[in-house]
Amino acid sequence: MTDVVTNHGEGPYWDAAAGRLLLVDMLAGAVVEFEPGSRAVRHGFGGVAAVVRRRTAGGFVLAVEHGFRLLDDDLQPVGDVQEVFSDPSIRMNEGGCDPQGRLYLGTMAYEATEGAGTLYRIDADRSVHEVLPGVTISNGLQWRADGQAVFYNDTPTHRISRFAFDAASGTFGDRETVVEIPEEQGNPDGLAIDAEGGLWCALYGGHAVHRYDQDGALTEVVELPARDVTSCTFGGPDGTTLFITTSRDGWGDADAEPQAGAVFAHEAGVRGAEQYSFAG
């Protein structure tokens, strides 16, 4: 476990090339980096910082409030923000890359208005395409090992969904429910996937991460001393450490749990699946 390093920690990503964990303090507009056992370093951008991923050409891509921008290897901005949408009531929230290197960025309304969010796809030429409209809180995006299906959370639905995935076009097809999560267990937030196909789901409001197999059976529960568990990713030297982000947003220092906003590490005993870089 780290010290409290974020107000609203999200989007953890293991940067294997540098052997470090990156995550965002989303509503503070910051990327936080640390190597295990070292102090966290913050890179502030202002506004919103939602998703950070490696680029195959070098450097990183960062989703910001209404679009995305490129960063160099030192997490410093390169060029201007490319706007994806302009509605001031909407912001970026979560995303990831498919095996072909396309970037997917999901949105939500600041007021969490039902159906106001969209999942966008950013192709390698940086063109923007709408993939999934009418979502509420876009979260948790991971691809099955064969590349023919993608797992996705629209948090208020209380389910993990699986879509058929067209690798050639980057489009989503038929949808089915893999897991239905009772409201009293928390809200499905970020997802990680392991090399055995297990889905590790952060439960916002649930003090836990749950692992499910791809038939939807619950196989493991990781309990945490922070209520609002936001996301998780695999990393570490052998890829078997599950790093878990948490939030203290909205609680205030007097009411927040002492460890809310820290990053936790769980030795999962299984390697994480490959995480892909942005080809743009």
* Residues 201 and 209: beta-carbon distance below 8 Å: yes
Element spanning 232, H or E: strand 228-235
Distances in whole angstroms, Cα of residue 266 to Cα of each of 75, 127, 179, 249, 272? 27, 38, 22, 23, 12
7's tokens: 């107000």
> What are 71's two structure tokens?
């960063």
Gyration radius of the chain over CA positions: 17
**Active-site residue, 189 included:** yes
Catalytic residue among 15, 98, 154, 189: 189
Distances (CA, A) of 50 to 119, 197, 273: 13, 25, 22
**Active-site annotation, residues:** 189
